[in-house]
Amino acid sequence: MTHGEAKQATLGELGAVPGVADALDPEQVAEAVARAKPEVIVHQLTAIGSVDLCHMDRDVALVGDGGVWSFVHIADAAEATVTVVTHGGRGVYNIVDNDPAPVAKWLPALARTLGAKQPTWAPRLAAGAAGAVLMAELCGATNAKATRALGWQPRHPSWRQGSAT
């Protein structure tokens, strides 16, 4: 499933049978799933908007000491996806590293890694109220079910190693 018709050809070349739907519209998703009749559905969506990494200090501001985020390295996400599809049962598997971190720790570290200016303390993000809620109120996730049910472990157990590669 793709949001725009422009990506249909690329997905078709990769062997997929693409459908166009807005993944945030439940009716469009239900219609796309009904048409496709898939054996497996893998949800790997994100709604994080674009951030200008050269102006991280302007686009993203630290909000309070709240907000704990979970991360996953792309290689770990790909490996876990294959494992879930081939060996997992029905259900939801959180595929994250072992080190949820508060925004006040990971955002300055990411800025240093990217050579960007350090974000400053401010009450909001350029992303608006929804972005401020994400930065301040997320509570992190655990990969315990994937570890227990699938024997999966991230090769990058912390965002600290994952962001460096």
Domain positions in the chain: 5-36, 53-162
At the fourth CATH level, the homologous superfamily of domain 53-162 is NAD(P)-binding Rossmann-like Domain (3.40.50.720)
22 or 121, higher pLDDT: 22
- C-beta of residue 11 within 8 angstroms of C-beta of residue 21: no
Output the six-digit token pair for 65. Answer: 């000491």
- 133-163 residue pLDDT tens: 666 677 889 999 999 999 999 999 999 886 7
Q: Rounded mean pLDDT of 26-43?
A: 88
122 or 116, higher pLDDT: 116
Return the pLDDT at 23. 85
Please state, in angstroms and rounded to a whole number, the distance separating the CA atoms of residues 116 and 14.
35
Please state, in angstroms and rounded to a whole number, the distance separating the CA atoms of residues 160 and 71.
10
28 or 126, higher pLDDT: 28
**pLDDT band for position 123 (50/70/90)?**
very low
85 or 117, higher pLDDT: 85
The residue with tokens 């996730």 is 141
| pTM score of the predicted model | 0.70
Closest CA to 149 of 104, 99, 83: 83
32 or 130, higher pLDDT: 32
Span between the terminal Cα atoms of the chain, in Å: 29
Residues 126-162: b if buried by 16+ CB within 10 A, e if exposed: ebeeebbebbbebeebebeebeeebebebebebbbeb
**Among 45-54, 56-65, 100-109, whose mean pLDDT is lowest?**
56-65
Return the pLDDT at 78. 94
